[in-house]
Amino acid sequence: MLYDIFVSIPVPHNRTEENPRPVTARLNFTAGMLSAAGEKGVLTTFGPAIIWNTVNNLVALTGGLSAAYVNPHEYGNAHIGGPLQFLSHIAVETKITGGLGVGYYFQHLSNANLYFHNPGMNLNSFSLSYHF
pLDDT in single tens digits along all 132 residues of the chain: 778 898 999 888 765 666 667 888 999 999 999 888 888 999 999 999 999 988 677 899 999 999 999 998 888 788 889 999 999 999 999 988 888 999 999 999 999 999 988 888 898 999 999 887
Other beta carbons within 10 Å of 16: 10
- Residue-level pLDDT at 80: 87
> Can you give the pTM of this predicted structure?
0.85
Could you give all domains of the chain from N- to C-terminal order, each with its CATH number? 2-130 (2.40.160.20)
| CA angle 81–35–120, rounded 5-degree value | 30
> Residue 121 carries which side chain, given as an amino acid letter?
M
Cβ(4)–Cβ(31) below 8 Å: yes
- Residue-level pLDDT at 15: 57
- Residue-level pLDDT at 54: 83
Instruction: Give the single-character DSSP code of 11.
Output: P
Handedness of CA 64, 69, 75, 79 (dihedral sign): positive
Instruction: Give the single-character DSSP code of 115.
Output: S
